[in-house]
Structure 1
């Protein structure tokens, strides 16, 4: 069909004798390019109108297909128009560049088809992970991995088809790729290790985008932002990005706190030794308070017991789990629990212990005033009232008291 159109145009140029041949060729080429631009403009607007019309329907895939096909359709129109114009020019020109028209057309068709598929895969990915468009959106990490793999398959297949259409033998290319792959594998083993590490992450899914992860083996802790085929981007809590090669995740331990079912409250609270008589009721009331607390998960381990005789306190172990796993909410619940424990302890007249030290002096050591020291003070006060110039300092003296008396250590 294209050849018939081109031959018709060429016959019109040859038979129309009003202008010179060069002008007639120029006018036809201009008309073809202008017509191509007009058709491309109309095609784009028609697809936009269809997108607006189908956006009101419940079917999401027609919107995705139209959006994916809009730009490739415009490119297809331009490819056809430029090819016809080039064929007309080639009929009257011996330029070498026009000899590649057929090859450019074939490769252009392949490129437009691949471009359409890639855009359709991208739009499908957006739909499958969107909570606004899907009742049960799929996991972003899984969908992203399948999307990347699909795009890679489409691109590799397109490259092989393009090489075949250009006259290259695919079997020779594959054989060369097999031999060259061995050399590339040795030269880029780290790159391949990261690639397969990324593949394992997508396969095993120890974490996904948005998870909080950390590693006790490395200084890695933060929120996963992106999982690529070579690097994984983690944003630390001080907002710095960390780029971790995927191969590292195959050799280190990775914790995923985002998948915890509960958060733990583990505290040791000490009361004074003088409050030992209140230990049993205090422990009982703390346990009852935790069992009735609406934010404590009683289905998990709950321990409240007298733990040990410590150096300056009687220790109570409080071990329980909250229902929430949210970091901020957890600390609010923990604060409420600790305040209620302190109120229970104060309700019995007891006190929370703090580190103290008692000093015992040897027997027979006493610090006191000498007999007559009070008389000296009284006389000093009297003399001070009588004459300020007669004041004199009073020096306290220390003596050893009777046997059996000692200080109280305060």
Structure 2
């Protein structure tokens, strides 16, 4: 028996192999016991939330447990001698696995926070809007992981970083417009100057937001065509968002003839006020006789429509206009229109 235990195979005795195997088995059993009893107990009595114990246990069991297994395997290998070439290969494999687990862990934490935010805010498209940011962060994590691996393998990271810096500048210059639109996308998402379904006007273009993409935003114009505008163009322009307008201020002018009696002129602001007060979702502000026009006596009126719906606004405006017309016609007050009076002077012949 002693001879069998002292028998050497690939530079190690059988007893050393058995000891390494025993360490590995004991470590696996301990990890399983911790996972089955300790984690389950904490998870059943833990709290919710991003920093709650349930979340920590879930993340730990998903990503930390594999690291525990790697540690157990590393501890077992410490009891046997491995050739230097095999040691380098194992080291590379260990680094790859550890970096991969850390990247997945960081991504899982960020995804959990985004999902939690979407759940609390009640907005279904939140996760979809964050996908470009997740892709960018994922790419950044992998770049950092690769640099970490190269550094541990003995490469001169400063030279690599310098090369990446020069290459990054060249790429940034070539993709300046694309990167500008990407960052503008995040500005639009976090600042929220408009959302899907909002009616906006940018310069001389107007329409309803149909889609907000990573590079461009699609707007359906009133005439039916689809407008595609870059995100950087939108963030650099003055955007009029009519969907976020809680009330509309309306100013209109009517003119009556110069033959209107003074008593009738005094009644006109009162008539207009009464009509607007009776209209639904309309708030009267003022009405005054404010100008002697070239062919009319002008009254200026201001009121508010308590809605951002354009159709409702037009319905209210039409209702008020018709009632004003009928009421002034009933009282014999005539609307003025451009007229010209010519006086002909005749000379008698002597």
Q: Residues 65 and 120 of structure 1 are in contact (CA less than 8 Å); yes or no, is this contact kept in structure 2?
A: no
Q: Which residue of 2 aligns with 1:117?
A: 106
- What is the DSSP-based 3-state SS (H/G/I as helix, E as strand, rest coil) of the residue aligned with 2:304? strand
Task: Return the index of the structure with the highest Cα Rg.
Answer: 1
Q: Which residue of 2 aligns with 1:156?
A: 140
Q: Whose strand fraction is larger, Structure 1's or Structure 2's?
A: 2
Q: Are 2:198 and 1:209 aligned?
A: no
Between the aligned partners of 1:275 and 1:315, the Cα distance in structure 2 is 12
Q: TM-score under structure 1 normalisation?
A: 0.51
Structure 1 segments, 4+ long, off by >6 Å, are 9-12, 74-77, 355-360
CA shift in 2, pair 1:190/1:258, >3 Å: same
Q: Which residue of 2 aligns with 1:331?
A: 314
Q: Which residue of 2 aligns with 1:280?
A: 266
Displacement after TM superposition at 1:196 (Å): 5.0
- What is the DSSP-based 3-state SS (H/G/I as helix, E as strand, rest coil) of the residue aligned with 2:147? helix
Unaligned ranges ≥5, structure 1: 1-6, 13-38, 85-98, 363-410
CA shift in 2, pair 1:292/1:11, >3 Å: closer
Displacement after TM superposition at 1:179 (Å): 1.8
Unaligned ranges ≥5, structure 2: 1-16, 23-31, 74-87, 345-350
Cα deviations by residue, 1:375-399 (Å, 9 ceiling, x for unpaired): xxxxxxxxxxxxxxxxxxxxxxxxx
Displacement after TM superposition at 1:215 (Å): 1.2
Q: Residues 250 and 302 of structure 2 are in contact (CA less than 8 Å); yes or no, is this contact kept in structure 1?
A: yes
Q: Are 2:209 and 1:223 aligned?
A: yes
CA shift in 2, pair 1:212/1:67, >3 Å: farther
Q: Are 2:305 and 1:322 aligned?
A: yes
Q: Are 2:109 and 1:106 aligned?
A: no
Displacement after TM superposition at 1:144 (Å): 6.2
Q: TM-score under structure 2 normalisation?
A: 0.58
Between the aligned partners of 1:358 and 1:109, the Cα distance in structure 2 is 92
Say how many residue pairs are matched.
294
Write out aligned runs for 1:220-299 (5 A).
Answer: 221-223=207-209, 225-226=211-212, 228=214, 231-237=215-221, 242-249=227-234, 251-271=236-256, 278-290=264-276, 295-297=281-283
CA RMSD, Structure 1 to Structure 2 (Å): 5.4
Between the aligned partners of 2:320 and 2:238, the Cα distance in structure 1 is 33
